[in-house]
Amino acid sequence: MSGSRPATIATSELYALGERLNARADSALLRDEPEQASDLRLAGRLIAALLRSGVIRAPITLD
């Protein structure tokens, strides 16, 4: 992303992101998109698992 500033993300923000992805997957908007809902649910679970296991240690900085 050319021209953008690095972003620092705290652990609580990453957990919240995972929860939002799970909530979006369960929303009525994705009833007709089961593959997309499954991908969002998996991404949310993956974020939480990586944080719990210590693989991701926040805060992290994204370029």
**Whole-model pTM?**
0.80
Contacts of range 37-45, beta carbons closer than 8 Å, 24 or more positions apart:
43/18, 44/17, 44/18, 44/19, 44/20, 45/18
pLDDT in tens, 3-41: 678 889 999 999 999 999 999 999 998 899 999 999 999
What is the predicted pLDDT for the residue at 3?
Answer: 65
What is the predicted pLDDT for the residue at 59?
Answer: 87
Contact of 7 with 59, CB cutoff 8 Å: no
Question: How many Å apart are CA 21 and CA 23, to the nearest integer?
Answer: 5
Question: How many Å apart are CA 19 and CA 57, to the nearest integer?
Answer: 18
What is the predicted pLDDT for the residue at 32?
Answer: 93
